[in-house]
Amino acid sequence: MTKSLSVKGFRRIVIKVGSSLVADGNKGAVRHEWLNGLAEDIVALRSDGREVILVSSGAIAVGRGHLGMRRRILKLEEKQAAAAVGQIRLAYVYQEMLRAHGLTVAQLLLTIGDTEQRRRYLNARNTMETLLRFGAVPMVNENDTVATEEIRFGDNDRLAARVAEMASADLLVLLSDIDGLYTADPNIDPAAERIETVRHITPEIEKMAGTSRSDIGSGGMATKLQAAKIAVNAGCHVVIAAGNSQNSLASLSRGAPCTWFVASRSPMTARKSWIANNLKPVGRLTVDEGARVALLAGKSLLPPGVVSVHGDFDRGDAVVVVDGSDTGIALGISAYSAVDARRILGHKSGEIAKILGYRGREEIIHRNDLVLS
């Protein structure tokens, strides 16, 4: 069963905003009025109980305009310099726009490594979670100033999909200059029709996206489709909708035309199957009977239930959990290194800070990071 396809039914929404929506194409001036509409829409979603993460492009477009870089294709170092100037200007505008509505913006600049290397990924994930818990609106962009060509997302569509995956979001909205995926490029083929719902991203669907690119941003329909694949696989629904008009998210909530990509499982199920299928354990935790019963009942693993720690692992590594007779109970991601786990085992969560000298997580393995065998 899928939810009825309306923005309203979702809990955590990632909204990706392209450069051409944020910045004026020729001069790179920030489009204040449009952004104000976006802020209003975010406020409306928030007051309706949704959590919102923004992924905004536009740093390079705004910065190049400000620095007067006229070349159509910029060199890498020019893009990096433009981003340094544009990002701070953009962040300021978002901050002011949302502040006017009583919301706090938090800037997260990520590189591809932050979404691929597990420790950095977990750090970014925890930070995002904490920001949301404190009611802030995370505003994410690629860290263009340090990202070089080979280690760059380059387009924020895929970055947004990775962010959605990282945050276990259940909806990713890609605001675009077109209101969805068409059977052919509608600029060329007048018979092209918009597709309402995509349940499987087949080669035929991929063919429809072609290689189209918009002039000012980096993504085209092809990168949007790649993004949709990543997100759907992570259990996150995706919608591609037109963002050009004022308050386009509000229009989307009222049923504006768009294309839906349907995820067939929840973010949590997707995450657990990722843990089960991709992580190789590098350590082992033996737990007592109380912890075994708690784990089987869906609880997290706390330090008092751990009897011994085997192996040499880092925080963020996968470990197996076994009972006293070495029978496997679960596989999970450890929130502590082997060294620290040994120091806190058997102790109450409240004692962790005193023993380690820092305040880590209460759980050695959080239930969301744990899959029963």
The residues that touch ligand GLU, with contacts defined as CB under 6 A, are 19, 57-61, 83, 141-142, 144, 155-156, 217-219
Q: How far is the CB of 90 from ligand GLU (least distance, A)?
A: 8
Nearer to ligand GLU, 248 or 286 (CB): 248
CA distance 244 to 177: 6
Q: Encoding tokens for residue 30?
A: 């920030």
306 vs 97: CA distance, rounded Å: 49
CB of 8 to ligand GLU, least distance (A): 27
Report whether 93 contacts 58 (CB < 8 A).
no
For residue 53, give both structure tokens: 């993460």
Select 137 or 371, whichever has its Cβ closest to ligand GLU.
Answer: 137
Alpha-carbon distance of 191 to 193, in angstroms, equals: 6
Kindly tell me which of 36 and 57 has the beta carbon lying closer to ligand GLU: 57
Inter-residue contact 332 to 321 (CB < 8 Å): yes
Shorter beta-carbon distance to ligand GLU: residue 59 or 364: 59
Q: Least separation, in Å, of the C-beta of 179 and ligand GLU?
A: 18
User: 173, 12 in Cβ contact below 8 A?
Assistant: no
- Nearer to ligand GLU among residue 18 and residue 316 (C-beta): 18
Query: How many whole angstroms from its chain centre is CA 234?
Result: 10
Closest Cα to residue 139, out of 107, 112, 162, 166?
107
Contacts of 351 (CB under 8 A, 6+ apart): 344
Query: Among residues 13 and 110, whose Cβ is nearest to ligand GLU?
Result: 110
Cα–Cα nearest to 157, from 135, 139, 141, 138: 141
Give the shortest CB-76-to-ligand GLU separation in angstroms.
13
Closest separation between CB of residue 142 and ligand GLU, Å? Answer: 4
Length of the chain: 373
The CA dihedral of 124, 199, 215, 52, to the nearest 10 degrees, is -40
CB-nearer residue toward ligand GLU: 16 or 271: 16
- Residue 141 CB, nearest distance to ligand GLU (Å)? 5
Q: Would strands 237-242 and 283-287 be described as parallel, antiparallel, or unpaired?
A: unpaired
Is 366 exposed, middle or buried (CB count within 10 Å of its CB: 0-12, 13-18, 19+)?
A: middle
Least Cβ distance, residue 372 to ligand GLU (angstroms): 39
Which is closer to ligand GLU, CB of 142 or CB of 369? Answer: 142
Taking the CA atoms of residue 91, residue 174, residue 274 and residue 113 in that order, the dihedral angle to the nearest 10 degrees is: -40
The kind and range of the H/E element at 204 are helix 203-209
Closer to ligand GLU by CB, 141 or 259: give it. Answer: 141
Distance, in Å, from the CA atom of 316 to the CA atom of 318, rounded to the nearest integer, reads 7
Q: Please, what is the minimum distance in Å from the beta carbon of residue 66 to ligand GLU?
A: 12
Least distance from C-beta 153 to ligand GLU, angstroms?
Answer: 7
Least separation in angstroms between residue 10's CB and ligand GLU is 23
Decide if 333 contacts 291 (C-beta within 8 A).
no
Nearer to ligand GLU, 155 or 369 (CB): 155
Whole-angstrom Cα Rg for the chain:
22
